[in-house]
Amino acid sequence: MRWVHTAIIVLFAAATLIFLVQNREIVAVDFLGFSVRAPFAVVAAGFYLLGTISGGSVYALLRRSMQGAGATGGPPPPRSA
């Protein structure tokens, strides 16, 4: 299964790289009063990296949450009389 995940990551990274190479025109990005003019490839790469970082953080948070839930073991079993 690890190879499937690695192949998917490589395919998405390759598609992103091709997209970046083909879109080099200058664009303006405005956000909360902050404005930047940069090649579209740089803007797209920045958002790709931000998505990667935030996605990894969410995954780590969920994994830790699930491990914590499993460690408590849930409610105790009912006692027989």
Per-residue pLDDT reduced to its tens digit, 23-80:
888 999 888 988 989 888 888 888 888 888 888 888 888 887 877 666 555 566 677 7
Would 74 be classed as within a structural domain?
Answer: no
| Residue 50 maps to a domain | yes
Residue at 75 is within a domain: no
Q: Is residue 78 part of a domain?
A: no
Count up the domains in the chain and report the number: 1
Task: Tell me if the pTM is above 0.85.
Answer: no
Is 18 part of any domain?
yes
Contact 40, 25 (CB under 8 A): yes
Domain that holds residue 19: 2-68
Q: Please report the DSSP string for 2-56 in residue order.
A: HHHHHHHHHHHHHHHHHHHHH---EEEEEETTEEEEEEHHHHHHHHHHHHHHHHH
Tell how far CA 25 is from the center of its chain.
Answer: 26
1 burial level (CB within 10 Å; 0-12, 13-18, 19+) = exposed
